[in-house]
Structure 1
């Protein structure tokens, strides 16, 4: 998904050439849905989420999950994890039935990171 970037200023603020604190940089990003394929770290304290994007690409989310997001992910994958047979130590796969979905933001440009936002509610 594209990241839209622009600048804005107050209507009553005059234009000042060069660097100006009157202008504020705005970024708008769109989140997308991804399938949770696994986690890294431990089942009780995941560090990152392994996801499969809609186009089939696999990615590891970055940056490291904070404590609140780690708790959310740990609760969602509880009882569904098994060690990855050919992955590095500390990599766990999620049972795929039913699929577990996450909301992520996919970066654009040279740092195409995938940032975890939240686990989607099960319907």
Structure 2
């Protein structure tokens, strides 16, 4: 299938699919006319990549999933890929640290704002 059809089936853009391919996460062959040609397995793989990126993982995280063979069947199927748990735990811990830092920054900014404008009326 051509890239436009794959993009439509996955719900993403052709540009995103080209990026996935550039990152080594998705592959195609070139037809005689030079167009990319994807096989049916690309639908599952590209859907998984899109889902993982939409979930907040980054391209390196998705690359780890690919390295462990986790992208070649729907992610919701059991058994789950072993790489998924550790990647999700690590990313959640990072997000929690960032939230804590932002909350601390908000507190400092609110104190500063109050010092400048006085207490709320």
Question: What TM-score, normalized to structure 2?
Answer: 0.25
- The structure number with the bigger radius of gyration is 2
Question: What TM-score, normalized to structure 1?
Answer: 0.25
Give the helix-richer structure, 1 or 2.
2
Higher relative contact order (CA 8 A, sep 6+): 1
Give the strand-richer structure, 1 or 2.
1
